[in-house]
Amino acid sequence: MEFELQCERCGACCRHPGEVRLEPEEVASIAAFLHLKEEDFIEAHTRLRKDRRGLALNEMDDQSCVFLAGNSCVIQKVKPRQCREFPNRWVNLLWGKVPLAAMQRDYPMLFGCSAFKTFLNSRKSPPD
């Protein structure tokens, strides 16, 4: 069974420390959306990923996403695939396959997500 959670735009995932990886085509679309040259976008809003295999979005001093404003994503229309797939990709990869305690330990950003909290509340019994 595949789950389709509806984002409630709580912004919790955007406040969680982590690495938002960018696909090469996402750099171009975000830069165009922001009316920036790709080089200027890269310099101002990205950094080299930890694995040194591409770019990731910068974070603010509090580790939130550089494009978070209140609970809104400034680049919502062109946000990276990693962001568009949250929380569904994680839920569908983990639910029923990983114990809830392990999910909470290893994927704490899920437990801050309003859509995931709604999902949990709708379940009669979580997986062991």
What is the pLDDT confidence band of residue 53, given thresholds at 50, 70 and 90? very high
Task: Give the integer Cα–Cα distance in Å for 34 and 55.
Answer: 17
What is the pLDDT confidence band of residue 14, given thresholds at 50, 70 and 90? very high
pLDDT of residue 124: 62
Q: Which amino acid is at 11?
A: G
Query: pTM for this structure?
Result: 0.81
Q: Has residue 1 got a pLDDT over 80?
A: no
Q: Is-contact 74 83, C-beta < 8 A?
A: no
Helices (H), the chain: 12-15, 24-33, 38-45, 81-84, 88-94, 100-106, 108-112, 114-122
| pLDDT tens per residue, range 57-102 | 999 999 999 999 988 899 999 999 999 999 999 899 999 899 999 9
Taking the CA atoms of the chain, what radius of gyration do you get in angstroms?
A: 16
pLDDT of residue 119: 92
Question: How many Cβ atoms from other residues are within 10 Å of residue 88's Cβ?
Answer: 18
Q: Residues 7, 10, 11, 16: what is their CA dihedral angle, to the nearest 10 degrees?
A: -100
- Cβ neighbors of 120 (< 8 A, separation 6 or more) are 126
